[in-house]
Amino acid sequence: MSRLQNRFAELKAENRAALVTFVTAGDPDYATSLSILKGLPEAGADVIELGMPFTDPMADGPAIQLANIRALAGKQGMHQTLQMVREFRAGNQSTPLVLMGYYNPIFVYGVERFISDAKEAGVDGLIVVDLPPEHNDELCEPAQSAGLDFIRLTTPTTDDDRLPTVLAGSSGFVYYVSVAGVTGAGAATLDHVEQAVARLRRHTDLPVCIGFGIRTPEHAAEVAKRAEGAVVGSALIDKIAEAKSPQQAIDGVLGLCRELAEGVRSARR
Amino acid sequence: MTSFRTGPDARGLFGRFGGQFVAETLMPLINSLAAEYEKAKSDPAFLEELAYFQRDYIGRASPLYFAERLSEHFGGAKIYLKREDLNHTGAHKINNCIGQILLAKRMGKQRIIAETGAGMHGVATATVAARFGMQCVVYMGTTDIDRQQANVFRMKLLGAEVIPVTAGTGTLKDAMNEALRDWVTNVHNTFYLIGTAAGPHPYPAMVRDFQSVIGNEVREQILAKEGRLPDSLVACIGGGSNAIGLFHPFLDDEGVQIVGVEAAGHGIDTGKHAASMAGGAPGVLHGNRTFLLQDDDGQITDAHSISAGLDYPGVGPEHAWLHEIKRVEYVPISDDEALDAFHHCCRLEGIIPALESAHALAEAFKRAPKLPRDHLMVINLSGRGDKDMQTVMHHMQDNQEKHA
């Protein structure tokens, strides 16, 4: 059983949803980012998404754009990101970690080499924003053959005709982007989330995690009542942007993570 | 015979280039656009309307002008200029905008977004949006806004909202990122009118088809004037829409030599250039796989060209393919060489070319003297230089100061 399958099975047994957290690798610098990464599981993150920095994050809003710029200014490249995963994994064998980003840095690194190095570093899955199922042969299929999960984004524009195509290449969990928009944009209504989850469940048995626009413990709790996971990114990254020192960045992210985790854990009590 | 004109395949690929590398939110829309375009292409009503606007609104056909004085000056080849600068709005960009706005209308879209570098695509988009009564938002980098103020003003006169983009170097690449962000957010009512033969499928093929009116006219015009096809074609390449429009109808004509001219800026070796084929590598950006300026980590690097219209770190995927299979020869021309050609064209023909087109002229002027008198060379004069007055003026002042 993969780490992701294992984690969602445990959570199902506990009857609670996952808190999925997103931070960008190397933001604001390698050491601070690694401390944040190492602290997230203890602060209540059940699944970690780690962003691979890219100069042109076309589907991200200002918060994650700026996180990418900060990380790249510190020379965070693919090698450093994989090294960060290795260092994380040395102290944590149970928390699933998913790399998220855009295709070009992977393509340039070399798909085969990337899959093998990511696997060796302890990566469990991949989310590649600009790689739709139309290009499954590029990365999704070889990654899954090598035992990495490939997590698909589904969106309000992915209609019933298209959903099977998208889900055919999905494993680990399904990430439902609840608003048509960039990351950090406004949140969807809970009615919409409910309907979307019901629609997805007609097509797949995979856990459904909801992202985009979740910023508070209360909101995370409402989403956690309706889906298998709530994804929070921009709100955590804002804590890094606001921080005046590395320690403040670490405390800010982990503090908010604890509050969000409490929200998620209280949802079905 | 193998044809070079059958691409892209069903997945939008020209060889290994092209494709549809975009966020899932956009995929359903892109696929429906591709389907709608397929239908429109064979719909006589659509084609008739397109032909009407090409003729009565753009002013086509644009002349194929024999540049007698340039031909005499450089000796050798007989130089013809395809006068896209005489189109309504002053460049080839309008050819594509008319085509896409008619598609937007078919699809019931009411809001048009676009990105622009030099501003010519922005002006052309604002123009057709005004003509068809649609809301228009144009993203433009702040660097480009500074160097293309006249075009910014034109867009505003035409009723468009121009949104400055400060990210990155404030040029076309950054404007395209912002336009994609807008599109992802407003996908339900918005049509993204892409200005060059790049982006996700079906854009590269669609833009090429709308621009192919250039090459199709050249074919007829040169046959009428000279009784045979040209020996060579030369056009500048940023994303490459004017070039693919000229080249495509001739790709299967073995005897026609085809040359694309990239912007070498300060020189390929300096790293300050916009020549993605001469100085880049294959990668994936803005929805397609193509040649890109990038570092070893796959991070996109900044392009530089004196011409805002060529200042883009990528190139349309069909060009990437034509480069790889060597059907078209792609060469770099520096800022200084382009400026030199710009002045020659002004003084000898009374035509002020766009700085983009001046790159094509520079390469043609290098080749012409070495060619026989009966060599027929067609250069695409993709646009007029009114928009570049400020840039040229600054450059001339800088030079005077250097030499003072």
ipTM of predicted complex: 0.96
Which residue's structure tokens are 């006219």?
Answer: B217
pLDDT digits (tens, 9 = 90+) for A48-72: 999 999 999 999 999 999 999 999 9
Average pLDDT over residues B178-182: 93
Contact call for residues A200 and A174 (beta carbons, < 8 A): yes
CA–CA distance, A165 with B28 (Å, rounded to integer): 12
Helix (H, G, I), strand (E, B) or coil at B262: strand
Residue B326 backbone class (left: φ over 0; alpha: ψ -120 to 50; beta: rest): left
**Which H or E run contains B316?**
none
Average pLDDT over residues B49-75: 98
Q: Is some CB atom of chain A closer than 8 A to the CB atom of B286?
A: yes
* pLDDT for B366 beyond 80: yes
Task: Examine residue A57 and say whether the peptide bond preceding it is cis (omega within 30 degrees of 0).
Answer: no
Average pLDDT, chain B: 96
* Three-class SS of A253-264: HHHHHHHHHHHH
Contact call for residues B240 and B316 (beta carbons, < 8 A): yes
* Cross-strand bridge partners of residue B383: B91
Measured between beta carbons, the chain A residues lying within 8 angstroms of B297 are: 77-78, 105, 108-109
Average pLDDT over residues B368-372: 98
Alpha helices in A74-110 (DSSP H): 78-91, 103-109
Q: Which amino acid is at A170?
A: S
Nearest to B124 by CA among B211, B7, B35, B212: B211
Give per-residue burial for B60-94: e unless 16+ CB within 10 Å, then b.
Answer: bbbebbebeebbebbebbbbbbbbbbbbbbbbbbb
Average pLDDT over residues A22-36: 98
Interface-testing mutation among A24, A52, A54, A55, with chain B (most B C-beta atoms within 10 A): A55
* pLDDT for B384 beyond 70: yes
CB contact under 8 A, A108 and B187: no
**Exposed (0-12), middle (13-18) or buried (19+): which is A38, by Cβ within 10 Å?**
middle
B47 pLDDT band, cuts 50/70/90, is: very high
Alpha helices in B142-239 (DSSP H): 142-147, 149-157, 172-185, 203-211, 213-226
Nearest to B154 by CA among B132, B123, B125, B181: B123
All residues at 6 or more sequence positions from A11 whose CB lies less than 8 Å from its CB, including other chains: A17, A18, A46, A228
Interface-testing mutation among B11, B25, B174, B178, with chain A (most A C-beta atoms within 10 A): B25
The number of C-alpha atoms within 13 Å of A266 and in the hemisphere containing its C-beta is 12
Sort strands B287-292 and B17-21 into parallel, antiparallel or unpaired.
Answer: antiparallel
CA–CA distance, B362 with B334 (Å, rounded to integer): 9
pLDDT digits (tens, 9 = 90+) for A78-122: 999 999 999 999 999 999 999 999 999 999 999 999 999 999 999
Average pLDDT over residues B310-315: 93
* A105: nearest CB among B21, B177, B297: B297
Q: Which amino acid is at A93?
A: Q
B2 pLDDT band, cuts 50/70/90, is: confident
Q: Which amino acid is at B140?
A: M
pTM of the model: 0.96
Q: Which amino acid is at B84?
A: E
CB contact under 8 A, B28 and A105: no
Cα angle value A38/A56/A214 (rounded, 5°): 50
Q: Sign of dihedral through CA atoms A249, A250, A252, A254?
A: positive
Phi/psi for B36 (5° steps) reads: -65, -40
Nearest to B276 by CA among A71, B265, A228: B265
- Active-site residue among A27, A46, A60, A228? A60
Measured between CA atoms, the residue of chain A closest to residue B182 is A181
* pLDDT for B48 beyond 90: yes
Task: Examine residue A62 and say whether the peptide bond preceding it is cis (omega within 30 degrees of 0).
Answer: no
pLDDT digits (tens, 9 = 90+) for B123-171: 999 999 999 999 999 999 998 898 889 999 999 999 999 999 998 778 8
Measured between CA atoms, the residue of chain B closest to residue A152 is B24
Contact call for residues A267 and A217 (beta carbons, < 8 A): no
* pLDDT for B404 beyond 80: no
Tokens of B308: 């805002």
Which residue's structure tokens are 């939110």?
Answer: B25
Helix (H, G, I), strand (E, B) or coil at B131: helix
Looking at CA atoms only, how far is residue B205 from chain A in angstroms? Answer: 18
CA–CA distance, B168 with B302 (Å, rounded to integer): 8
Measured between CA atoms, the residue of chain A closest to residue B302 is A55
B1 pLDDT band, cuts 50/70/90, is: low
How many CB atoms are closer than 10 A to CB A63?
Answer: 19
* pLDDT for A268 beyond 80: no
Tokens of B334: 């520096």
Measured between CA atoms, the residue of chain B closest to residue A106 is B298
CA–CA distance, B224 with A207 (Å, rounded to integer): 67
Looking at CA atoms only, how far is residue B169 from chain A in angstroms? Answer: 11
Helix (H, G, I), strand (E, B) or coil at B318: helix
Going from the C-alpha of B260 to that of each of A1, B294, B342, B380, the distances in angstroms are: 54, 21, 17, 10
Lateral strand order in the sheet of B190-192: B161-165, B135-141, B111-116, B190-192
Catalytic, B370? Answer no
A147 pLDDT band, cuts 50/70/90, is: very high
Which residue's structure tokens are 């401390």?
Answer: A35
The DSSP secondary structure of B73-127, one letter per residue, reads HH-SSEEEEEEGGGSGGGBTHHHHHHHHHHHHHHTT--EEEEEESSSHHHHHHHH
Contact call for residues B79 and B364 (beta carbons, < 8 A): yes
pLDDT digits (tens, 9 = 90+) for A220-252: 999 999 999 999 999 999 999 999 999 999 999
Interface-testing mutation among A108, A111, A129, A140, with chain B (most B C-beta atoms within 10 A): A108
Instruction: Report the number of secondary-structure helices (H) and strands (E) in chain B.
Output: 16, 14
CA–CA distance, B244 with B230 (Å, rounded to integer): 16
Measured between beta carbons, the chain B residues lying within 8 angstroms of A113 are: none
Contact call for residues A225 and A267 (beta carbons, < 8 A): yes
pLDDT digits (tens, 9 = 90+) for A179-217: 888 887 777 888 989 999 999 999 999 999 999 889 999
Lateral strand order in the sheet of B232-237: B64-66, B78-83, B376-381, B232-237, B257-265, B329-334
**Exposed (0-12), middle (13-18) or buried (19+): which is B268, by Cβ within 10 Å?**
middle
Nearest to A253 by CA among A227, A267, A223, A232: A232
Q: Compute CA A177 distance to the chain's CA centroid, rounded to the nearest angstrom.
A: 11
